[in-house]
Each structure stands twice: as structure tokens, then as C-alpha cells.
């Protein structure tokens, strides 16, 4: 449990992240859990007495290290702890800035903000091969119960692979987005907009779905629908891909998000510019996009080790 004053401050900070900064609901939930665990630990660490907001912002580095050691001791991974530390630093910096007033009149938070994130190996994206992606697009509609659902599933996965969309972005399209233009304006994470091209094959797949769909696709209503006419649930696309990958012998990593990874990896392998791919994916940082260069290098080394005459002695 955390005291009401801390709970109120946390609620105001999270509301600012959501309303002003456009942080996703998933991240808000994770940050809330991270901060509540941190605040509970700090109160216990200080003898059961919760510090004031000013004392929180001015936490010494030793307290931050004690919290991180405790979190790791509970089984929290280095990756999850890095996320939690980011949330804690953001909250403490907000307190130091006067609780969002922008006055900078709060205490000095430099000690707490100097805490370093634990090192962790970045998880590499797991794309499909080019043939695997093509096979998925060709076969994903084979297990549908109705022709229009088959067309729908094909249209969605073609969008994911053809334009590098997140599943949430594809499902946010409305009737106003049909007929699919050559360039789509997509609102992604952080409410940031970007322009992504659509391939003729994608336009055709979406047009086929619209032609067969039994529901009225109003301009302000979702473009992709479930069997009863409501907004399509992302889980249904995941299940369609799960059935298809089992039939095709593709790995469990062949998920909707893997098609976005495949889009980026295949563009990079074909000579695509890293900055351009960053823009297409909507990554805020180039370092996020650079993960795909590691994938490309890893594949290159696999080919080298298996094919070079001297690789095996």
C-alpha cells in the first residue's frame, strides 16, 4: 500500500503522460505497477514511514540502488528493471519540477536520476523469411469459415507486411480509408503521425475484403469487422496466423508483429536506408531501428558459416 498523497501524485503524473504525451494505455499500466512497487519498497526501506514528495525527489543514490537490488532479488529481469527505472526517474523528475508546474521549484533530484539502468541484451526482432512471409499471406485465409473473413484476414496481414503497420494501427483504419490510397497517414505510438506507402497488392486485398464484407463500412466506423459486425479483435488475426503457421511449418515467432519485423528486415536486406525505415516504422529513436541491422548481420554470418569453404575447417 502507498499513502494517499503518493497515490494522488502518481495518478496526476500518469494522467499527464496519457493526455499530454500520448503514452499508450499498456505503458501507463506498466508504469503504474512499477511505481507502486517502488513507493511501497521505499516506505518499508525507511522504517515503514513514507517519505514526503520532496524527500522522494531527493532520494540518495544508495536508496535507489537498494530498490534495484531488491527488485532483482524478487526475480525481475534486467529488461523489466530498466523499464521500471525509467518510470521511476520520470516520476521523480516530475516531482522535482514542481509536480508538473514547470517551475523547477522542487528539490534536487540529481542523485536519484544518476542511477544507471542494469545492462541487458537487447532482444532481436524475429522476422519471417521472404518465402515464409509470402506463404503466410497466401495461406492465411484458407482456414476461415466464410469467404469474406478469409478476405479480411488476408487484407490485414497484407497491410502488416506490405506497410509495416502495428496490428493496432491496421485495426484503427476506418471506412474513410477505403479505397486504400497510395500513401496512408497513420497515427502510431505517442499520437505521432507518419506517412506509409501501400502496395498495389495491399490495395487489391483490402478492396476484395470490402467487396465481400456483409456490413456497412461507414466512413467513421472501423474498416475491419468481426463476425458479428463489431470492431475486429486483434486476437482473431493472431489465431488465424497461429493456425496457418502450424500448417506451413513456420516457427511460433510467426505472429502479427513478426510481419512488421519482416517488413523492416526485408527492406534493409534489399538496400533500404535505415533512416527511411525508421520513418516508415514510426520509431522515435534510430537505435530502435538499428536492431534490424543486427538481424541482417546475424543472417549474413549464418550464410557465411554454412557456405564458406573454410568455415568448417
- 193's enclosing H/E stretch is strand 193-197
Q: Pick the more confident residue, 313 or 65.
A: 65
DSSP state of 222: B
Average pLDDT value for residue range 213-225: 95
Report how far residue 118's alpha carbon sits from residue 107's, in angstroms, rounded to the nearest whole number. 26
What is the number of alpha carbons within 13 Å of residue 205 lying toward its C-beta? 25
Helix (H, G, I), strand (E, B) or coil at 41: helix
Domain 130-305, CATH class in plain words = mainly alpha
Q: Which one has a higher pLDDT value, 86 or 126?
A: 86
Bigger pLDDT: 297 vs 21: 21
- Write out the catalytic residue numbers: 166, 189, 257, 260, 283, 292
- Mean pLDDT, range 278-305, rounded to an integer: 58
Contact at 8 Å (CB) between 112 and 59? yes
Place of cell 474513410: 176
Residue 249 has pLDDT above 50, yes or no: yes
CB 289 within 8 A of CB 278: yes
Is 288's pLDDT higher than 90? no
Say if residue 308's pLDDT is above 70.
no
CATH code for the part of the protein at 4-113: 1.10.150
Residue 129 in contact with residue 296, Cβ under 8 Å? Answer: no
User: Is residue 303 scored above 50 in pLDDT?
Assistant: no
Mean pLDDT within 256-261: 89
Q: To 10 degrees, what angle do helices 4-19 and 25-45 make?
A: 160
Q: Is the pLDDT of residue 309 over 60?
A: no
pLDDT above 50 for 266:
yes
Cα distance between residue 162 and residue 241, in whole Å: 16
Spacing of C-alpha 209 from chain mean position = 27
Question: Can 4-113 and 130-305 be said to share one CATH topology?
Answer: no
Q: In the predicted model, is pLDDT for residue 208 greater than 60? A: yes
Q: What is the DSSP letter of 46?
A: T
User: Quick check: 300 pLDDT over 50?
Assistant: no
DSSP 130-179: HHHHHHHHHHGGGG-SSHHHHHHHHHHHHHHHHH---HHHHHT-BGGG-S
Q: Does residue 51 surpass a pLDDT of 70?
A: yes
All structural domains of the chain with their residue ranges: 4-113, 130-305
Please determine, for residue 304, whether its predicted confidence score (pLDDT) is greater than 50: no
| pLDDT band at residue 150 under the 50/70/90 scheme | very high
To which H or E segment does residue 196 belong? strand 193-197
Q: Is the pLDDT of residue 101 over 60?
A: no
- Residue 291 — pLDDT band, cuts 50, 70, 90? low
The pTM for the full model equals 0.62
pLDDT for 301 equals 45
Amino acid at each position: 500500500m502507498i499513502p494517499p498523497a503518493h497515490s494522488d501524485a502518481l495518478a496526476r503524473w500518469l494522467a499527464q503522460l496519457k493526455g499530454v504525451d500520448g503514452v499508450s494505455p499498456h505503458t501507463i499500466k506498466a508504469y503504474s505497477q512499477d511505481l507502486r512497487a517502488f513507493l511501497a519498497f521505499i516506505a518499508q526501506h525507511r522504517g515503514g514511514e513514507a517519505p514526503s514528495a520532496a524527500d522522494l525527489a531527493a532520494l540518495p543514490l544508495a536508496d535507489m540502488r537498494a530498490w534495484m537490488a531488491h527488485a532483482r532479488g524478487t526475480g525481475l529481469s534486467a529488461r523489466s528493471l530498466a523499464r521500471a527505472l525509467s518510470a521511476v526517474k520520470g516520476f521523480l523528475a516530475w516531482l522535482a519540477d514542481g509536480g508538473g508546474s514547470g517551475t523547477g521549484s522542487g528539490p534536487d533530484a540529481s542523485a536519484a536520476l544518476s542511477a544507471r539502468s542494469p545492462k541487458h541484451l537487447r532482444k532481436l526482432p524475429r522476422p519471417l523469411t521472404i518465402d515464409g512471409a509470402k506463404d503466410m499471406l497466401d495461406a492465411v485465409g484458407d482456414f476461415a469459415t466464410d469467404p469474406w473473413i478469409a478476405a479480411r484476414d488476408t487484407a490485414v496481414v497484407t497491410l502488416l507486411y506490405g506497410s509495416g503497420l502495428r496490428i493496432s494501427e491496421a485495426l484503427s483504419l476506418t471506412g474513410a480509408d477505403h479505397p486504400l490510397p497510395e500513401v496512408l497517414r497513420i497515427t502510431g505510438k505517442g499520437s505521432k503521425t507518419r506517412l506509409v506507402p501501400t502496395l498495389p497488392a495491399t490495395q487489391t486485398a483490402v478492396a476484395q475484403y470490402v467487396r465481400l464484407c456483409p456490413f456497412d463500412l461507414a466512413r467513421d466506423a472501423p474498416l475491419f469487422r468481426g463476425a458479428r459486425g463489431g470492431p475486429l479483435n486483434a486476437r482473431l488475426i493472431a489465431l488465424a496466423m497461429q493456425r496457418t503457421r502450424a500448417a506451413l511449418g513456420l516457427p511460433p515467432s510467426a505472429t502479427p508483429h513478426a510481419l512488421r519485423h519482416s517488413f523492416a528486415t526485408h527492406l534493409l536486406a534489399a538496400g533500404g536506408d535505415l533512416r527511411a525505415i525508421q520513418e516508415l516504422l514510426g520509431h522515435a529513436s534510430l537505435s530502435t531501428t538499428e536492431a534490424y541491422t543486427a538481424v541482417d548481420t546475424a543472417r549474413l554470418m549464418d550464410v557465411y558459416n554454412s557456405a564458406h569453404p573454410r568455415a568448417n575447417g
